[in-house]
Each structure stands twice: as structure tokens, then as C-alpha cells.
Amino acid sequence: MENQFFSPRIIAWYQHNRRDLPWRHTRDPYKIWLSEVILQQTRVAQGMPYYLRFVEAYPTVFDLAAAPEQEVMRLWQGLGYYSRARNLHQTAQFIAQQRNGLFPDTFSSLLQLKGIGTYTAAAIASFAFDEPVAVVDGNVYRVLSRVFGIETDIASTAGQKEFWTLANTLIPPDQAAVFNQAMMEFGAIQCTPTSPDCLLCPLQAQCQANATGKVAALPVKSKKVKVKERFFNYFVVAQNGQLALKQRNTRDIWQQLYDFYLVESDAPLTSIDALDDATLRDILPQVIIEPPARAYTHVLTHQRIQAQFWVLHAPDTLLTLPSELQFFSHEAIEALPKPVLITAYWKERFL
Ligand code: SF4
């Protein structure tokens, strides 16, 4: 395929088929950054309410910088990948305090910011500042690999370099923003992973994958993500209508979010006696134990968690709890940032 046909056709397709999304009406780098961070690993339909809530709560980078971290995490709750929310908050503070609210305006200077990688830097640089640098996300890999018949593994460093170089040779210097939007939109709604609309595709005649029957096989992605199985045994100490929770500070999933006392095991637990845990040994004789009603399964990208919850009904006089646990009323729990798994259990059992 001759490269010069590619960009005008993609852009023409975009002008007729684009969705009206709120972040496409702004050139404000702060709002573009917000939308890109929220939409990573997230479908537009799921990310949109989060974007609208963040923009309403924090209309400027100064508002986000001034917000308490717990409030930001609470607003982020349910999107997963919580380190993104922490980086977002810290970078907002850096921009507000060290740069007087001004975003860096080039791809290379944006890359220096915490939590901003190649993809987000390219998106902000092109959408806000018209810099001709290509955004290469999963959609773009798919479109390019199919149209140009490229079989290089997109998970390999060589593959990423090849696609990045190709995308940057295709970008029209004076239409960077619209070209990048067009590429991502084309991959999201025309050249989709499992049901691309090849019949009505403006690139059908030139598409190598269509010509060779390799549409379903492209892009090639070799690395399979290994999913780790984890077994969480939660102990919910209940006293006087309050529950004991703690903030997660270990280098693990859900950092800074709140959950209950947790003992992890290598396999599903059949009996509480099988746990050798000093804290539980102290607490269990003092409480009435309510066994789990059911198990909960929670799936993350690299982990599958099976969780069970024991409620430990404690008398008023109890009890020496580990210092990281604190009692909270249900009203206070509502306001805490919590993993979706904890919210689901808490609502089902206690509300
Ligand atoms: S012809 Fe099919 S596979 Fe090729 S670009 Fe169009 S939608 Fe994608």
C-alpha cells in the first residue's frame, strides 16, 4: 500500500464517524491528561463518568493538587490501577507548586513527569500543542499491523520500535491531533479486535491482512500474561455497630485503600484452625465467629483473588487489636477509599 493514501483516508473516515466525547472539545492539557490517564486500560463507557466527576470536582490542576489524597482515591475507586491515581495527584501538585500550573508543552519534557509515559506524553503533546508525535496504543497497533501486514510481535521491543517509527512516518505534520484521534477511533470502532467491519472499510482495498486472510491473526502478541491465583481470608471485627479496617501500606495491590484484617493462604481455606496467625490466636477466643456465607471472586489483570470473610462479633469489652486496625462507623466506611471487592462484600453483608 502506498503510504500517502493512508492518512487522508483515516482522517476522512474520522470526520464522518467520530464519537462526540467531552475531552475532544478541549485543548486544555490538564483535561487531556486527565482523560488519557482515566481511559488507560478502561473502556470509554466506563471511563466517561469518572472523567466528568473529576472535571467537576477539580476543574483546574490547582484544584486537584489541593485535594486530600484520600478524596482523590475515593473518586478513583472502581477504576483499578490505583498507582495511576496517586501519580496523577502527585504530578498535579508538582505542576501547581513547581510550575505555577503550567504544563510542559513538548513530548520530551512531558515524559519527565511522574506517571506520564510515551503514550500519554504523545497524546498531550499532539492534542494540546499540535506536536507531530504519534500516539501508539492497542488500537493503533491493530490497525497498522493489519493494514500493512506486519507480523512483528507487538510485545517485543523491536516490534514497539517498528510500529512507533511507522506511525511517526504516517503522521501529517500539520494534522497531528486529528490524525492521532482518527487512528485510535478507527481501531476502537471500525477495525475492532474480533469483529472488524471490513466490508465497509475505506482501507479494504489496500489492507494486507484482508487480502491474505490474516485479519484475525493480527496483531501478533506473544507474551501471555500469567494470572496468579491468590486466596484472601478476611476477618471483619465488629463491635458496637462499627467495623475494624486498616489502610493497606504494603507493596502490593490496592495501596492506600482500606480493607479488613487479612491473612493470605496458598489454597482455599477449609477451616479457620488451619491458620497460624498470632493476632487471630489472641482475638478468636474473645469473639463469636460468623463463618463466610459465600466466596467472592475478584479478577485483576494479573491476579485472580478468591476471598472469604469471617465476621468476628466482639463484646464491648474486647480487645487488643493490632495498631493498624481502627474502628469505623458505617457512615465513615462509606467515605473511605476501598477496593471494589471490599465495597461489594460490605454492602451485601452490612447495608
Ligand atoms: S479491511 Fe478490515 S482489517 Fe483491514 S483495516 Fe479495514 S477493518 Fe481493519
State whether 131 and 160 are in the same domain: yes
Ligand 1 binding pocket includes 314 (Cβ within 6 Å):
no
Cβ contact 5:147 at 8 Å = no
Ligand 1 binding pocket includes 218 (Cβ within 6 Å):
no
* Last residue within a domain, chosen from 212, 246, 274: 212
How many structural domains are present in the chain?
A: 2
State whether 52 and 101 are in the same domain: yes
State in Å: Cα 216 to ligand 1 middle.
10
Q: Closest by alpha carbon to 273, among 260, 262, 284, 264?
A: 284
pLDDT at residue number 249? 86
Task: From first to last of the 351 residues of the chain, give the pLDDT tens digit.
Answer: 446 789 999 999 999 999 999 999 999 999 999 999 999 878 899 999 999 999 999 999 999 999 999 999 999 998 888 888 999 999 999 999 999 999 999 999 999 999 899 999 999 999 999 999 999 999 999 999 999 999 999 999 999 999 999 999 999 999 999 999 999 999 999 999 999 999 999 999 999 999 999 999 999 998 666 889 999 999 999 999 999 999 998 888 998 899 999 999 988 887 887 788 888 888 888 899 999 989 999 998 889 999 999 999 998 876 678 888 999 999 999 999 999 999 999 999 998
So which residues are the catalytic ones?
Answer: 36
Neighbour tally for 205: CB within 10 Å = 10
170 assigned to some structural domain: yes
State whether 182 and 314 are in the same domain: no
- Give the domain range for residue 286: 228-350
What CATH number corresponds to the domain at position 236?
Answer: 3.90.79.10
222 assigned to some structural domain: no
Measured distance CA(342)–CA(351) in Å, rounded: 13
Q: Closest by alpha carbon to 291, among 279, 309, 266, 276?
A: 309
Ligand 1 binding pocket includes 198 (Cβ within 6 Å):
yes
The number of the ligand 1 atom at minimal distance from the alpha carbon of 197 is 7
| Best of 199, 215, 218 for a ligand 1 pocket test (most atoms within 8 Å of beta carbon) | 215
State whether 207 and 289 are in the same domain: no
Ligand 1 binding pocket includes 207 (Cβ within 6 Å):
yes
State whether 236 and 327 are in the same domain: yes
> Rounded to two decimals, what is the model's pTM?
0.75
221 assigned to some structural domain: no
| Best of 146, 148, 208, 212 for a ligand 1 pocket test (most atoms within 8 Å of beta carbon) | 146
Could you give the C-alpha distances from 50 to 22, 129, 146, 309, 316, in angstroms and in order? 12, 24, 32, 29, 41
204 assigned to some structural domain: yes
What CATH number corresponds to the domain at position 207?
Answer: 1.10.340.30
Q: Which 8-state DSSP code applies to residue 25?
A: G
State whether 35 and 172 are in the same domain: yes
pLDDT at residue number 319? 66
Cβ contact 220:154 at 8 Å = yes
* Last residue within a domain, chosen from 159, 184, 212: 212
Ligand 1 binding pocket includes 208 (Cβ within 6 Å):
no
